[in-house]
């Protein structure tokens, strides 16, 4: 495999750009020490590569094995332009590494005064102590210490020392991904350790397990008779689901072609699907009537973030050639990452040999998608209708047409004009967007590129 890490260390921007153009390449993978390409570019001061990686979806908060973020490395090595860029892209200035040090600790220790001032202006706390009990101010002296102290007062900081607390158990940090998850295609089924069945659906059984020390999810496809032709088609189709190059797309990392079992494998995400987050966790209560009900897991701000994430992922998928397996958007097929990023799950795409005439989740599908052959429909417009239903779901926290069977839903949407209704209390801006995206004329629905700026404005 091309050494993306070396190119980022050396500053070979053209090589990095060409590497990123392949959707199979995972720009958030880590090397043997967990350094992502962004870590190396930030450490070596290659600002153009840093900008390119972030624009393509590199995670600014990813940590290496020592819990350093790219902001730690840029701050320690004096790359002020990169520090400013990462801060503009919402890098957290108060994340601590394994020693309890923040980026401000390193900027102060190495005397990078302009970087220290930028960090404090962006919310870095001067009173946050590391494991040795030292604050950033303890790491500097003279005029720099005075200036950082004054700036903290100007920004309204409480100067009382904050003792170090290990918060690693909260799961707030996001490691760069194990590179083995993007390097393998064919996997021996005997190397999988599957221990818990997560779901059983018409398209197959989904199991949680382990592979090469990675937590994975394995979907065993429901195939009645795995002929040699089906096995061949599976080998040809599944590589198209290995889309590593976008942060809002969850790729298939490998497969097992071991007839009669065909298995697609993806990374395990602890929060599960958007559907389960919306409709399962929200109903959990303490069981004590004297206690107030718990707030919903997904508040309005988070719901808008999820909608924006999904729109970004779909906009990216629409830039690619329409593929087989076919992807149908709904909340069951959107997974939530450890940092609450919504990601479209490519493992839920439907292969060409899977029950061609059967529709599993018609509640999210456009009327024309239920009426027309695949070759005769506008896929992009149909996806936009599905996105409108997903936004309705995020706004109402309800399952669309929950009182009807899937067959009834499909028939009534296609033939009787059944549509979701927007209840009072939904933001008028969001209600208007849902209606626009559900235009009965597919040609009048917006594209995801058109919807994204609207969602971004609604989040402000």
Mean pLDDT, range 374-400, rounded to an integer: 93
Q: Residue 175: its pLDDT value, please?
A: 64
pLDDT over 90 at 377, yes or no: no
Higher pLDDT, 437 or 222: 437
Q: Where in the chain is the domain with CATH 1.10.510.10?
A: 184-459
Mean pLDDT, range 219-235, rounded to an integer: 90
User: At 432, which helix (H) or strand (E)?
Assistant: helix 428-437
Name the pTM for this structure.
0.75
Mean pLDDT, range 125-131, rounded to an integer: 94
Q: Where in the chain is the domain with CATH 1.25.40.20?
A: 4-174
Q: What six digits make up the tokens of 17?
A: 């750009």
Mean pLDDT, range 226-251, rounded to an integer: 89
pLDDT range class, residue 282, cuts 50, 70, 90? very low
pLDDT range class, residue 74, cuts 50, 70, 90? very high
Identify the CA nearest to 261 among candidates 317, 300, 326, 205.
205
Do residues 230 and 261 lie in contact, with contact meaning Cβ atoms separated by under 8 Å? Answer: no
Do residues 94 and 127 lie in contact, with contact meaning Cβ atoms separated by under 8 Å? Answer: no
Q: Residue 285: its pLDDT value, please?
A: 42
CATH class as words, domain 4-174: mainly alpha
pLDDT over 80 at 7, yes or no: yes
CA 262 – CA 371 distance, rounded (Å): 30
pLDDT tens-digit series, residues 195-213: 999 888 888 899 999 988 8
Q: Residue 105: its pLDDT value, please?
A: 96
pLDDT range class, residue 169, cuts 50, 70, 90? very low
pLDDT range class, residue 26, cuts 50, 70, 90? confident
Q: What six digits make up the tokens of 432?
A: 């208007």
Q: Residue 45: its pLDDT value, please?
A: 97
pLDDT range class, residue 221, cuts 50, 70, 90? very high
CA 421 – CA 203 distance, rounded (Å): 29
pLDDT over 90 at 355, yes or no: no
pLDDT over 80 at 178, yes or no: no
Higher pLDDT, 79 or 373: 79
Burial 93-112 (b: 16+ CB within 10 A, else e): bebbbeebbbbbbbbbbbeb
pLDDT tens-digit series, residues 292-345: 444 456 888 999 999 999 999 999 999 887 766 788 899 999 999 888 899 999
pLDDT range class, residue 167, cuts 50, 70, 90? low
pLDDT range class, residue 170, cuts 50, 70, 90? very low
Mean pLDDT of the chain: 88
Above pLDDT 90, what percent of the chain? 63
Higher pLDDT, 13 or 174: 13
CATH class as words, domain 184-459: mainly alpha
């Amino acid at each position: 495999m091309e050494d993306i890490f070396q190119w980022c260390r050396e500053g070979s921007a053209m090589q990095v750009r060409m590497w990123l153009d392949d959707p199979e390449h995972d720009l958030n993978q880590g090397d043997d020490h967990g350094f992502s390409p962004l870590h190396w570019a930030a450490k070596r001061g290659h600002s153009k590569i840093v900008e390119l990686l972030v624009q393509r979806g590199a995670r600014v908060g990813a940590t290496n094995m020592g819990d350093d973020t790219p902001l730690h490395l840029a701050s320690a090595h004096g790359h002020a332009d990169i520090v400013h860029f990462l801060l503009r892209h919402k890098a957290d200035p108060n994340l601590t590494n394994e020693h309890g040090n923040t980026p401000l600790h390193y900027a102060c220790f190495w005397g990078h005064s302009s970087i220290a001032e930028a960090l404090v202006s962006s919310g870095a706390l001067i009173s946050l102590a590391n494991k040795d009990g030292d604050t950033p101010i303890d790491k500097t002296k003279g005029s720099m210490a005075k200036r950082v102290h004054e700036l903290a007062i100007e920004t309204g900081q409480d100067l009382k020392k904050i003792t170090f607390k290990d918060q690693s158990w909260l799961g707030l940090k996001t490691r760069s991904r194990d590179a083995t998850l993007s390097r393998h295609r064919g996997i021996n089924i005997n190397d999988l350790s599957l221990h818990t069945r997560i779901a059983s659906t018409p398209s197959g059984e989904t199991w949680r397990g382990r592979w090469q020390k990675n937590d994975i999810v394995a979907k065993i496809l429901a195939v009645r008779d795995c002929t040699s032709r089906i096995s061949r088609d599976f080998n040809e189709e599944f590589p198209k689901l290995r889309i590593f190059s976008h942060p809002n797309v969850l790729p298939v990392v490998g497969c097992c072609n071991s007839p009669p079992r065909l298995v697609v494998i993806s990374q395990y995400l602890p929060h599960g699907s958007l559907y389960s987050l919306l409709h399962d966790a929200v109903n959990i209560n303490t069981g004590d009537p004297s206690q107030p009900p718990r707030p919903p897991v997904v508040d309005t701000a988070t719901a808008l973030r999820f909608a924006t994430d999904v729109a970004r992922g779909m906009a990216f998928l629409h830039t690619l050639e329409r593929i087989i397996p076919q992807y149908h958007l709904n909340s069951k097929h959107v997974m939530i990452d450890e940092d609450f990023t919504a990601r479209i799950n490519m493992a839920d795409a439907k292969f060409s040999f899977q029950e061609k005439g059967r529709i599993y989740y018609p509640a999210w599908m456009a009327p024309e998608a239920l009426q027309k052959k695949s070759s005769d429909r506008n896929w992009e417009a149909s996806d936009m209708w599905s996105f409108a239903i997903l936004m309705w779901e995020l706004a109402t926290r309800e399952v669309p047409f929950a009182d009807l069977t899937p067959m009834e839903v499909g028939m009534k949407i296609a033939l009787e004009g059944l549509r979701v209704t927007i209840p009072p209390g939904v933001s008028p801006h969001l209600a208007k967007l849902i209606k626009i995206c559900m235009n009965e004329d597919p040609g009048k629905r917006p594209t995801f590129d058109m919807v994204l700026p609207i969602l971004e404005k609604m989040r402000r």
